[in-house]
Amino acid sequence: MSAPFEADLCPETGAPRVRFNFDNGWSASLVLTTGTRDRCHFHTASLAVCPTGQWGQGLTQIIGNELGTDGAAQWLAAIALRSAP
């Protein structure tokens, strides 16, 4: 079984990344993004989803690249309610 969430740094950007592993068999990857050179103030997030454990296998769906806090929270709630893949 996967952990409920995992946190690390995105290998491409070095930005903070949190992966949520939901009980319904879906995982969401939330990467914080900033529009400035200040690497400590994040204003938006990128969000992707795929069946748990299947990252990089052609099943990833990009949800958005400039989500605000409300949009990211709404998408995470919707992914948690999806039917099993």
> pLDDT (tens digit, 9 = 90+) per residue, 51-82?
998 998 999 999 999 999 999 999 999 999 99
Provide mean pLDDT across the span 10-19: 91
Q: For residues 1 and 26, what is the distance between their CA atoms, to the nearest angstrom? A: 12
pLDDT of residue 38: 67
Name the more confident of 65 and 42. Answer: 65
Q: How confident is the model at residue 30 (pLDDT cuts 50, 70, 90)?
A: very high
What pLDDT, on the 0 to 100 scale, is given for residue 1?
A: 44
